[in-house]
Amino acid sequence: MLFASWQFGVFFAVVVSIYFSMPPRWRWALLLGASYFFYMCSVPAYALLLLGSTVIDYVAALRMAAAGSHRHKKMWLAVSLLANLGLLFSFKYYNFFAASIESLGLWTGLGLHFPLSGLILPVGISFYTFQTLSYSIDVYRGTLQPERHFGRYALYVSFFPQLVAGPIERAASLLPQFRRHHDFDAERVASGLRQMTWGLFKKVVIADNLAVLANTAYNDPQGLAGVHLAIATVFFAFQIYCDFSGYSDIAIGAARVLGFGLMTNFNQPYTARSVSEFWSRWHISLSTWFRDYVYIPLGGSRVSVQRWQINLIIVFLVSGLWHGAKWTFVIWGALHACYMVASPATKPWRAQLARALRLDRVPRLQSVLQRLAVFGLVCMAWVFFRANSVNDAFYILGRLPSGWDQLLQAGALSWICLPLRIAPTDLVFGFGLIALLLTAEAMFKVRGGHWGREIAVRFWPVRWAVYGLLLLSIINLGTPKPAPFIYFQF
């Protein structure tokens, strides 16, 4: 069930209505039933995996808390890790592993062969396994008391607003909220609905429209010039941002309507002035997960420089693999690792260059250039993320310098649009959407708040005009075939 579907609208309205009409002590049961129903709308049998993962972690956490010795505690942690990572491996990575081994066999002449599995990737498996893993690890570390109420724990794993694409919530934040009673608060419900509407706008109007051009170029890059591929990459950068942050906004808004607070997942990532700042603004729930459960246990930055660099590389390679079992994602992660490793090493040179160009005297210009440079690096990595194969990605990067002189010729707009099979108005519309997004986000940032809070304090005709325009845009400016959320595949 997609968030941008009438089925979800009906489902959500029914759940909210019953939720606030029933006694608070049984609301967890309603949300749990609704969450499993929501999940079973894709492949019903896969709800058993969700249940299995829940039961294993529930039992493992209780056993860890009751364990008399450290050895026992460790053993139960291992059970949880093996079960969750085993699940992830079987459904997500096995075919990648088998194909890679087979390629290696062909290359070395060893003739290794593993049969491929025909299993379909369960929706949201990467998200809920990471959520349950964080719970087990926190209980093991003693930073969290295990939840004894199985229903509430099962709800923590399966809570429908964030079940299939995050944010990946920590038990310490979400579980206590399931124990509290949430009365109907009109202001909070309205705020949640506002955020859902904004998320839907980003997904349906911006992401889906930008996807048309990006998909055309990336699905058949042969013969396109660098200009086409650069535009497609910029469009993809904003497509994936609006797609995923739009989903997160809908998830956070839906949870807020019900009375729950989920963590912020995106904070204007394309305004970052360094790659590390980008990662503190992009998919924050996953970045902080890797920080807390991989990077810091490896030693974080409190180790030698070489060791720290290795830690970064490990974290970003794993992050790449988390996104998908393909070499393109691994290279995407590796590129970001290179950026992170190179950043402190190149800092003196960059400072020297800024002084030589006298940019340090114009801090605003320097800031704009830094943002553009980071955006360029991020886009270069997106080429690998989006390309259908590693060969395609290298082909696209190789073609990027070509064709720019054509922009100075007469009829440049038609020359850009023709191979991309779009009208010039579509191209202008795409850039207009990006400009609209950046302007809106910049305005909210200047005023120090989220758009929802910003709009809520406006005079009611202005407020209603904005709501009306957003709803009319969502209805009328979407594409004929709305695309599924990109992060569903992870």
Nearer to other proteins, 2 or 314 (CB): 2
Could you say which of 14, 185, 220, 362 contacts other proteins (CB under 8 A)? Answer: 185
Q: Counting contacts by CB under 8 A, is residue 250 touching other proteins?
A: no
Q: Which stretch binds other proteins (CB under 8 A): 46-54, 182-190, 291-299, 319-327?
A: 182-190
Cα gap 41→7, rounded to integer Å: 10
Could you say which of 111, 223, 411, 480 contacts other proteins (CB under 8 A)? Answer: 480
**Who's near 461: CB < 8 A, 6+ residues apart?**
none
Could you say which of 59, 101, 193, 422 contacts other proteins (CB under 8 A)? Answer: 193
Minimum gap (Å) between residue 429 Cβ and other proteins = 15
Nearer to other proteins, 6 or 349 (CB): 6
Q: Which stretch binds other proteins (CB under 8 A): 146-154, 185-193, 269-277, 296-304?
A: 185-193
| DSSP letters spanning 335-381 | HHHHHHHHHHHHHHHHHHHHHHTTGGG-HHHHHHHHHHHHHHHHHHH
Q: Counting contacts by CB under 8 A, is residue 116 touching other proteins?
A: no
Say how many C-beta atoms besides its own lie within 10 A of residue 469's C-beta.
11
Q: Which stretch binds other proteins (CB under 8 A): 130-138, 154-162, 184-192, 404-412?
A: 184-192
- # of chain residues touching other proteins (CB under 8 A): 26
The answer to whether the CB of 281 falls within 8 A of the CB of 272 is: yes
Could you say which of 29, 106, 116, 184 contacts other proteins (CB under 8 A)? Answer: 184
**Who's near 169: CB < 8 A, 6+ residues apart?**
131, 156, 159, 162, 262, 263, 285
Q: Which stretch binds other proteins (CB under 8 A): 47-55, 94-102, 429-437, 466-474?
A: 466-474
Nearer to other proteins, 303 or 475 (CB): 475
Nearer to other proteins, 404 or 464 (CB): 464
Say how many C-beta atoms besides its own lie within 10 A of residue 449's C-beta.
13
Minimum gap (Å) between residue 270 Cβ and other proteins = 26
Minimum gap (Å) between residue 478 Cβ and other proteins = 5
Mask for 197-226, x = binds other proteins (CB under 8 A): -------x----------------------
Q: Counting contacts by CB under 8 A, is residue 40 touching other proteins?
A: no
Nearer to other proteins, 5 or 301 (CB): 5
Cα gap 246→266, rounded to integer Å: 10
Q: What are phi and psi of 326, to 5 degrees?
A: -145, 150
The answer to whether the CB of 489 falls within 8 A of the CB of 324 is: yes
Could you say which of 9, 299, 363, 424 contacts other proteins (CB under 8 A)? Answer: 9
Cα gap 478→329, rounded to integer Å: 29
Write the secondary structure of 195-253 as one string of H (helix), E (strand) and C (coil): HHHHHHHHHHHHHHHHHHHHHHHHHCCCCCCHHHHHHHHHHHHHHHHHHHHHHHHHHHH
Q: Counting contacts by CB under 8 A, is residue 471 touching other proteins?
A: yes
Q: Counting contacts by CB under 8 A, is residue 41 touching other proteins?
A: no
- Give the active site residue among 228, 283, 323, 336: 323
Cα gap 169→404, rounded to integer Å: 45
Q: CA angle at residue 299 from 140 to 139, to 5 degrees? A: 10
449: left (phi over 0), alpha (psi -120 to 50) or beta: beta
Minimum gap (Å) between residue 483 Cβ and other proteins = 11
Q: Counting contacts by CB under 8 A, is residue 405 touching other proteins?
A: no
Nearer to other proteins, 116 or 365 (CB): 116
Residue pointed to by tokens 């968030």: 3
Could you say which of 11, 20, 375, 395 contacts other proteins (CB under 8 A)? Answer: 20
Q: Counting contacts by CB under 8 A, is residue 459 touching other proteins?
A: no
Cα gap 378→393, rounded to integer Å: 14
Cα gap 324→332, rounded to integer Å: 11
Residue (of 230, 285, 87) closest to 79 by Cα position: 87
Minimum gap (Å) between residue 411 Cβ and other proteins = 26
Residue 323 annotated among the catalytic residues of the structure? yes
Q: Counting contacts by CB under 8 A, is residue 107 touching other proteins?
A: no
Cα gap 189→290, rounded to integer Å: 32
Cα gap 67→61, rounded to integer Å: 10
Could you say which of 269, 286, 475, 490 contacts other proteins (CB under 8 A)? Answer: 475
Per-residue tokens: 31: 């949300």
Cα gap 382→431, rounded to integer Å: 18
Q: Which stretch binds other proteins (CB under 8 A): 163-171, 188-196, 328-336, 348-356?
A: 188-196
Q: Counting contacts by CB under 8 A, is residue 5 touching other proteins?
A: yes
* Contacting other proteins within 273-312 (CB under 8 A): none
Applying CB under 8 A, which residues contact other proteins?
A: 2, 4-7, 9, 20, 120, 184-186, 189-190, 193, 204, 464, 467-468, 471-472, 474-476, 478, 480, 482
Enumerate the active-site residues.
Answer: 323
